[in-house]
Structure 1
Amino acid sequence: MRRITRIVTVGATTAALALTATACGNKSSSDTASSGDSAGAKAAIAYDVGGRGDQSFNDAAFAGLEKAQKDLKIKGSAAEPSDGEADADKIQRLTELARAGNNPVIGVGFAYAPAIKKVAAKFPKTTFGIIDDASVTDKNIANLVFNEEQGSYLAGVAAAKVSKSKTVGFIGGVETPLIKKFEAGFEQGVTDTDPKVKVLSQYLTQPPNFDGFSKPDLGKAAAQGQLDKKADVIYAAAGLAGSGSIEAAAKAGKWAIGVDSDQYNQKGLATYKDSILTSVTKDVADSVFNLIKSVQDGKPQSGEIRYGLDKDGVGLADSNPAFTKMTDVIGAVDKAKQEIIDGKITVKTTP
């Protein structure tokens, strides 16, 4: 059994494949991309469940690393997770990235919290970033967190306004406190906009099973079940699994709402883009870029760095022309956004 490590250069047309043996027998990969590297600075990200190509969370993190490569002339590395891995695997991955001289080293997702806590203590001169977790703290740890519930509230407003069946759906990948923030905001946005609209909520898996973030078939089946119950708008916060729900909604001629990245513009979802009403975006790309830049500038970020509606850290994408033409919907969304920023609406973080 072998592990495949992929090395890619940005802008190049070829990739070199290096094979290394592994004892665990699971497949993982790492991408290394260079764009100048004039100062020898290096940064790395370690992907969450689903890995690169999820059209969502992980791809957003890579976009930030890629921007840093181009704009800051650093060398970037990205390491893939393996199937069913334990914290020990994450510790080894982060340790290898830190030993290689990467600074910062960024864990994409709350699952990296235990590993970052241990590895950051061993490399005090290296800055570690963790996305979506504020529980582990140290002088050299930056907690990149988002007000997901605020963006989800706006999605709820839009869903309630466009629904004709008065039934909409929410699909969470894995039932964790983080994903419950998405659910809570969405449900509140729907109810505040139209109390007559029913919200169907479902989670794909329960911890410690995180397949709900990585298996599109699970998302597709859940969405089909909600469609059968007359849902005509489905919002999925489920990483790669969410692509299955988008497919199901599109084939049924109903609306889907994407998450994390602007999924209307994701190449892997181009077949279904016309059915993606909007997406709840998290500016993961800028959070990654900003952390890398802070280290390069000699003023590394640390502690909680929060991104909300007030800083455009979360929001709704407006790439679909069909969405932007819905003036009453856009008006309701803009009004809700301003009221959240002004403190007139407080969005719940639990359903």
Structure 2
Amino acid sequence: MSLMKSLLAGAAALCLSPVVASADPALIFDLGGKFDKSFNEAAYRGAEQWKAETGGSYKELEMQSEAQREQALRRLAETGANPIVMTGFAFGEVLTKIAPDYPETKFVIIDTVVEQPNVQSVIFAEPEGSYLAGVLAAMASKTGTVGFIGGMDVPLIHKFECGYAQGVKATNPDAKVLINYTGTTPAAWNDPVKGGELAKAQKSQGADVIYAAAGGTGIGVLQAAADEGILSIGVDSNQNFMHPGKMLTSMVKRVDNSVYDAFKAGAEVEPGIRVMDLKSDGVSLAMDEFNAPLITPEMTAAIEKVTAEITSGAITPHDYMTDNTCPVQ
């Protein structure tokens, strides 16, 4: 059934009865598209896992422009969809505005906090996972220079950047970390050509491992790194399979788990803040057959040690968004 038919059917059902007994959940993807091989696609996998296990159905929308955010949320809320899950901090302002208009609808927003009584805010401990990525990058680098390429230059992505830099510097205090962003507008998430250009530029400055936290733009970073014979680190989803033997790892955010859990809870999803950290397996480094040849026993031991220290509180990677600063830069 097409989205329009689904929405019309939902609207018709809503007109017939003021209470939707068994509403379908809904998922709205952010700019960059459902199959970005990164953040949005992780959300899609979570929804599909729920669908496969339950036989249920869900509505979905892919954002095409910033102007669609409010319309999309209202449209789904008015069909009776419950809960409505959205991927990305950019929905924060709009959700704050419209959540009070639909008090019986539960909303779940990933990557930012919206303080409303019918909203669950899911945030991830990106500094923790990125710190581990930095440890691995510093150990793998032969030049002592590594890179970071972010998508949109916003505080959320500085959390990745800062955690990564801390891990690098903790492992090799003399290492150099090159940093670039692809832009200051949402278009920065979907510019793989520019991502590739930045990766080549960082290689020319000595970087031999590059961490990309840039959504769809990151695909260009990973491709360019593989073409240039240097290593890369993926983000959000496990991207190791894209360039076997050429990707050091991926810093995985279990966005799939947060969507799956929200769909499973349905209208009973609990409002408030949910933190997905290293201890709860909310973030992790991807280790599989695609990067196994690159991971030495020393690297494995180091990652296990630092993971234990972070989960115990012996190491606390600084969260950039607490004060908009990074202690190693």
- Residue 69 of structure 1 aligns with which residue? 51
Shift of 1:349: 1.7
Looking at structure 1, the residues matched to 84 and 239 of structure 2 have their Cα atoms a distance apart, in angstroms, of: 26
1:302 is the counterpart of 2:302: no
Q: 2:255 aligns with which of 284, 290, 294?
A: 284
**Cα–Cα, structure 1 residues 324 and 231, in superposed 2: closer, same or farther, change >3 Å?**
closer
Equivalent position to 1:137, from 71, 91, 115: 115
Residue 251 of structure 1, CA deviation: 0.5
2:266 match: secondary structure: helix
Higher helix share: 2
In 1, Cα distance between the equivalents of 2:201 and 2:283? 29
Matched, 1:108 2:87: yes
State the TM-score, normalized to the length of structure 2. Answer: 0.89
Match of 1:34 in 2: none
Higher strand share: 1
Corresponding residue SS for 2:244:
helix
Residue 102 of structure 2: aligned partner: 123
Query: How big is each residue's C-alpha offset from its partner over 1:122-180, in whole Å with a ceiling of 9 and x where there is no partner?
Result: 1111100100001x211110001100010000000000000001110001101111000
Aligned to 2:204: 228
Residue 326 of structure 1 is matched in structure 2 by 296
Tell me the CA shift for residue 325 of structure 1.
4.3
1:211 aligns with 2:190: no
In 2, distance between residues paired with 1:242 and 1:58? 13
The share of aligned pairs that are identical, in percent, is: 40
Unaligned runs of 5+ in 2: 6-20, 321-325
2:286 pairs with one of 317, 334, 351: 317
Q: Does 1:258 align with 2:258?
A: no
Aligned length: 305
Corresponding residue for residue 23 of structure 1: none
Secondary structure in structure 1 of the residue aligned to 2:310: helix
1:346 aligns with 2:325: no
Task: Find the aligned partners of 2:266 and 2:212 in 1 and give their Cα distance.
Answer: 34
Q: Give runs of aligned pairs for residues 83-94 of structure 1, distance below 5 A.
A: 83=65, 85-86=66-67, 89-94=68-73
CA distance in 2 between counterparts of 1:274 and 1:244 reads 17
Larger RCO, structures 1/2 (Cα 8 Å, 6+ apart): 2
The answer to whether the Cα contact below 8 Å between 2:248 and 2:295 also exists between their aligned partners in 1 is no
Given that 2:231 and 2:248 are in contact with CA atoms closer than 8 Å, whether structure 1 keeps it comes out as: yes
CA distance in 2, matches of 1:146, 1:263: 18
Q: Which residue is equivalent to 1:32? A: none
Matched with 1:35 is none
- What letter is aligned with 2:271? S
**How far is 1:258 from its partner?**
0.1
Structure 1, unaligned stretches of length 5 or more? Answer: 1-5, 9-16, 19-38
The DSSP-based 3-state class of the residue aligned with 1:138 is: coil
1:174 is aligned to 152
Q: In the alignment, what sits opposite 1:43?
A: 25
Letter of the 1:315 partner, please give it.
S
How far residue 41 of structure 1 moved from its aligned partner, in angstroms, is 3.7
| Structure 1 residue runs of 4 or more that deviate by more than 2 Å after TM superposition | 320-325
For residues 3-82 of structure 1, the aligned pairs below 5 Å read 7=2, 40-82=22-64
How far has the Cα of 1:7 moved from its partner? 3.3
The corresponding residue for 2:218 is: 242
Q: Secondary structure at the match of 1:288?
A: helix
Q: What pairs up with 1:177-188 in 2 under 5 angstroms?
A: 177-188=155-166
> Which of residues 188, 194, 204 in structure 1 aligns to 2:172?
194
Q: What CA RMSD, in Å, does the superposition of the two structures yield over aligned residues?
A: 1.7
